[in-house]
Structure 1
Amino acid sequence: MKTKLSKPLGCIILASGLAFGHAAGAGPQDDTLRAAMSGEILNLDYLYTTRREYIILAQMTDATLFTMNPANQQIEPGVASSYEFVDDMTIDVQLRKDVRFHDGSSLTAADVAYTYNWIIDPNSESHAQALISRWLDHAEVLDEHTVRFHLAAINPLIIRDMAQRVMLRKDGSYHQGDQVDHEAMALNLNGVGPYRVVRFNPGVELVLERFDDFFGDAPEIGNIVVRNIPDMGTQQAELMSGGINWMFNVPLDVARSLDARPGIDHLAGPDLRVSFIVLDAGGVAQPDGPLTDLRVRQAMNHAINKPEIAEFLMGGGASEPIYSACHPVQFGCTQDVQRYEYDPDRARELLAEAGYPDGFSLDLWAYRERPKAEAVMADLEAVGIDINLRYVQLETLNQARASQDIAAYIGTWGSSGVADTALIARVHFSDTSDRHLSGDEEVVEWVLSAEQTADQELRFDYYQQAIARIAEQAYWVPLVSYSADYLVTSDLEFPLDDDGVPRLQNARWK
């Protein structure tokens, strides 16, 4: 077995195996990495996209004011060299002087201010608008290399948002006189990243080459070709023939099968996505339902064999059981919580104590990873809970949840690659969320309080209290973290980072 696994809390370069013949012109021979992506690529402008494929591309073609070190989750300089809080509502950002766009022009404060002001403009319709407008009133040019950000609200994630969501655009990029063109960068991207676009055939192929004037560390591979190949079987055939060097989101059975072939390696690393069961503890859908009893919720936690699900269904050894309502590497995700180890006998005892010695019937909703959902169902049925698995499309689940018709569902959350508890907590434990089924207003208060201070120690304390209460009261059944599974040719070294985001710009040939 050649599978290589990354440590959950470290960054390690993984790839080994036997060399094999590639198709002519593939790989190191012409210094071209060929990658396959299933999701259709139609728009290169990350300000107007959200999918994982677009995140991967944006990190190659674009750059942000700051960067996030995936090994330690620390903010580091990017296009910006430093920042300073002038007061609670004002931030000055100093820019590097050696940053160039792919058209050769130098980046200045006017470009940065234009980008941010355009994002929060109601006419922009940018996908980043809701996030940035939460805290930004407007950006102002102080001098050629200094931008002042006037805040609309205190938000502890401001610098993190700058590091992860806002790719910089040249002043006037979306305007032709009085006319607005939302798709100006969709096909002809002018970024400041380590690779520039040479050719783009939407839905077919994207060709990138190393940008020699990139301000940061130059990538080692000179060219990257990204091919849209929707069919996983076709991707496998291309990998085996040498037509591609890299594929991701690989099903575990496929990854293990191809790993046995010479010249192909299965890489598995951690991902920030987690899976969990949300329980109707507050009686939102069923006011007098069994899930309003703490003992029943504790029984469900004890009933599920999370280590087995992680090892055999989620992939690669990078998936792990979780016990908190967040990912263990996220800021604020305390692990000092009540843990419910797999113990079906204790689960049966708790059900009997709660008045359900013969169990009860429960609709359990799910929308992805059916084998995992069926394993959860089997474990719950083994302790006497009669499960009706409602396996549906996400939109159907969303509609039922909005109508308060769901007592229990298996959810997942990836936090948009952000290693902070804020996003998962805000979405699932705010008083306006239809995902909040606990009815615990103190948890809501802690979550909101954590968002209203920039004091990191205080934020951690608030999240620690909220996460500990969620576990103590068994409002959720935390299940497992996800594994990011890849197949690569053995001549490629591809680093796996703790946040699960693939960074093709960091790949190199052996």
Structure 2
Amino acid sequence: MRQFRVRDICTASAIVLATVIGPAHAGKNDDTLRVAMTEEILNLDYNYTTKREYIILAQLTDATLFNINPDTAEIEPSVATGYEFVDDTTLDVMLRDDVVFHDGSTLTAEDVAYSYNWINNPDSESNASGVVERWLDRAEVTGPNTVRFHLTSVYPLVLRDMGARIMLRKAGTYEAGGTVDRDAMANELIGTGPYKVASFEPGTELVLERFDGYFGEKPAISKIVVRNIPDIGTQQAELMSGGVDWMFKVPLDLAESLGATPMAEHLSGPDLRVGFLVLDAAGYTDKDGPLTNVLVRRAINHALNTPEMAKFLIGGSAEAIHTACHPAQFGCDQSIPAYDYDPEKARALLAEAGYEEGFPLELWAYRDKAAAEAVAADLETVGIDVNLRYVKLESLNQVRAQRDIPAYFGTWGSGGTADTAAIARIHFADTDRNLSGDEGLEEMVLAAEQTNDPEERKMLYSKALGRIADQAYWAPLFSYSANYLVSPDLTFPLDPDGLPRLQNSSWK
């Protein structure tokens, strides 16, 4: 399944370059962790961004009301010291009195209430609004260090949402002078996290310095420099020469090759991201098309050699999955029947459905090209004529929003949230990602978010996942493995949820 590619040449070139240049390992010498990121960093305010890179940065520059313990998935205090449910839809949150913004001002209950009310305001157009509007009516100050959250309905994930998504801002931040400014924190962020922004050149470099006024445990490393380096070969060369100490999203073959040298260490750990095919069962693209036939969708599931994809294309801790969620997530019932890899059965199902000679299928993808090509090859083996359209994510999103996408290879990381709700709502409720057309399924998924009873939630998710599998609305593929390359001088702990926490790094 593996082919010789250009990036293999890049690997070899990087090793040769490292041999010539030799290690600098300046990071340890000047206590500066230098990080490489492929994606451009253009906006420092996670209230207005989404990608994994921005989550990593938000962990450094911001603090939330609660933390999610990556080892136990339990909710722990952070800016909040505690909470109390007055009733099912009224939540009181108590705050620390020693939380300081990077400009030296003390965080108040007014700041917290403003942050939540602003994001819940349609005028904010925040990327986090979709999370808050599920459950928040309003937040009100009830004391010097207490905020009361009025919920629109019972919502069992409210504390988890508070811990994962909403960054705290000073009251009036986005409305200074009476004018709405959604970019107020985009370049000169004032947060409450362990690092503060020292300088920022969008798309080029971000320099963070340890914030002495941080209320929590101080990070071991005093400075972090995040460099935008879009070319993976350049990242490798920089790592091997000591210009970079940390890189992630490393393809398996590259990570293994460079990690075998004394100049870099390959780390591989779990990741909550999963890959899958979404199939237009509802017939948005063709009301009488082959994908509206459950036998065809089941054939597609049987046609895919997901164990080999996981082993050879993703590697590390990646595994084949058979449910529309990550096995480590709460409610992800693994007793759901699986579709074994069986090309002959796939052909038989296609014939039974009236497609013995196959049919043309336009398959869209935006990442992991080798995996997308493997999927296409497996489908072609059973007679489906695949036109693989490999595009930028923005293009795929536009086509999907127009309901003009018959099938696509997608991935979802759940924001590091170990709960099936983090993947089920956005893919099987009222969004353009839901191509099932199954209103009953949507009701099950939403019902699981309207009860605080964990056993009832499990039952509802089991029913929903069973229905997804039986009707083959998805073809689940594999979980991901997080591959990193780091300086031999760096200690970088790996957490079970796969979210990189650079603030926990230290020098050996």
Partner of 1:7: none
Partner of 2:15: none
TM-score relative to the length of structure 1: 0.89
Equivalences, count: 489
Partner of 1:144: 144
**Contact 2:36 / 2:247 at 8 angstroms: preserved in 1?**
yes
Partner of 1:260: 260
The reply to whether residue 154 of structure 1 matches residue 154 of structure 2 is yes
Partner of 1:10: none
2:435, 2:133 → 1: CA distance? 28
2:49, 2:437 → 1: CA distance? 34
Partner of 1:444: 442
Structure 2 counterpart SS, 1:127: coil
Within a 5 Å distance, the mapping from 1:350-369 to structure 2 comes to: 350-369=349-368
2:467, 2:51 → 1: CA distance? 33
**Contact 2:269 / 2:494 at 8 angstroms: preserved in 1?**
yes
TM-score relative to the length of structure 2: 0.89
Structure 2 counterpart SS, 1:363: strand
1:219, 1:326 → 2: CA distance? 33
1:403 positional shift = 4.6
Within a 5 Å distance, the mapping from 1:381-392 to structure 2 comes to: 381-392=380-391
Within a 5 Å distance, the mapping from 1:419-434 to structure 2 comes to: 419-430=418-429, 432-434=430-432
Partner of 1:170: 170
Instruction: State which of 446, 450, 453 in structure 1 corresponds to 2:451.
Output: 453
2:398, 2:208 → 1: CA distance? 41
2:191, 2:201 → 1: CA distance? 18
CA shift digits 1:374-397 (9 cap, x unpaired): 211221222233323333444444
Q: Residues 227, 408 of structure 1: CA spacing in aligned structure 2 closer, same or farther, 3 A cutoff? A: closer
Within a 5 Å distance, the mapping from 1:49-60 to structure 2 comes to: 49-60=49-60
1:234 positional shift = 2.0
1:280, 1:166 → 2: CA distance? 33
1:265 positional shift = 1.2
1:204, 1:345 → 2: CA distance? 51
1:395, 1:247 → 2: CA distance? 24
The reply to whether residue 328 of structure 1 matches residue 336 of structure 2 is no
Within a 5 Å distance, the mapping from 1:25-174 to structure 2 comes to: 26-174=26-174
Structure 2 counterpart SS, 1:240: helix
1:486 positional shift = 1.3
Within a 5 Å distance, the mapping from 1:281-292 to structure 2 comes to: 281-292=281-292
CA shift digits 1:302-361 (9 cap, x unpaired): 2211111111112x4122111001111222211111111212233233334444444343
1:437, 1:192 → 2: CA distance? 40
* Amino acid in structure 2 at the alignment position of 1:455: D
Partner of 2:471: 473
* Amino acid in structure 2 at the alignment position of 1:198: A
**Contact 2:22 / 2:240 at 8 angstroms: preserved in 1?**
no
1:395, 1:242 → 2: CA distance? 34
* Amino acid in structure 2 at the alignment position of 1:57: L
2:306, 2:287 → 1: CA distance? 29
1:400 positional shift = 4.2
Structure 2 counterpart SS, 1:23: coil
**Contact 1:296 / 1:354 at 8 angstroms: preserved in 2?**
yes
Q: Residues 211, 155 of structure 1: CA spacing in aligned structure 2 closer, same or farther, 3 A cutoff? A: same
Q: Percent identity?
A: 65
Q: Greater shift after overlay, 468-477 or 210-219?
A: 210-219
1:294, 1:175 → 2: CA distance? 51
1:231 positional shift = 2.4
Partner of 1:218: 218
**Contact 1:196 / 1:209 at 8 angstroms: preserved in 2?**
yes
Q: Greater shift after overlay, 472-481 or 211-220?
A: 211-220
**Contact 1:337 / 1:472 at 8 angstroms: preserved in 2?**
no
Q: Residues 472, 180 of structure 1: CA spacing in aligned structure 2 closer, same or farther, 3 A cutoff? A: closer
Structure 2 counterpart SS, 1:439: coil
Partner of 1:227: 227
Q: Residues 398, 57 of structure 1: CA spacing in aligned structure 2 closer, same or farther, 3 A cutoff? A: closer
Q: Greater shift after overlay, 123-132 or 459-468?
A: 123-132
2:345, 2:125 → 1: CA distance? 53
Contiguous gaps of at least 5 residues in structure 2: 1-20
2:304, 2:485 → 1: CA distance? 30
1:63, 1:40 → 2: CA distance? 23
2:372, 2:183 → 1: CA distance? 40
Q: Residues 362, 508 of structure 1: CA spacing in aligned structure 2 closer, same or farther, 3 A cutoff? A: same
CA shift digits 1:140-176 (9 cap, x unpaired): 1122111111223332222111101111122333444
1:368 positional shift = 2.5
Q: CA RMSD in A?
A: 2.4
**Contact 1:194 / 1:214 at 8 angstroms: preserved in 2?**
yes
1:114 positional shift = 2.2
Q: Residues 281, 493 of structure 1: CA spacing in aligned structure 2 closer, same or farther, 3 A cutoff? A: same
CA shift digits 1:433-458 (9 cap, x unpaired): 34333333321221121222233322
Partner of 1:23: 24
Q: Residues 371, 118 of structure 1: CA spacing in aligned structure 2 closer, same or farther, 3 A cutoff? A: same
1:138, 1:492 → 2: CA distance? 44
The reply to whether residue 203 of structure 1 matches residue 203 of structure 2 is yes
Contiguous gaps of at least 5 residues in structure 1: 1-19
Partner of 2:9: none
Structure 2 counterpart SS, 1:495: coil
Q: Residues 507, 21 of structure 1: CA spacing in aligned structure 2 closer, same or farther, 3 A cutoff? A: farther
Q: Greater shift after overlay, 398-407 or 224-233?
A: 398-407
1:201, 1:353 → 2: CA distance? 59
1:506, 1:200 → 2: CA distance? 22
The reply to whether residue 502 of structure 1 matches residue 500 of structure 2 is yes
The reply to whether residue 309 of structure 1 matches residue 315 of structure 2 is no
Structure 2 counterpart SS, 1:64: coil
Partner of 1:187: 187
Q: Residues 220, 359 of structure 1: CA spacing in aligned structure 2 closer, same or farther, 3 A cutoff? A: same
Q: Residues 389, 171 of structure 1: CA spacing in aligned structure 2 closer, same or farther, 3 A cutoff? A: closer
Q: Residues 228, 351 of structure 1: CA spacing in aligned structure 2 closer, same or farther, 3 A cutoff? A: closer
1:262 positional shift = 1.2
1:132, 1:89 → 2: CA distance? 14
* Amino acid in structure 2 at the alignment position of 1:140: E
2:392, 2:365 → 1: CA distance? 8
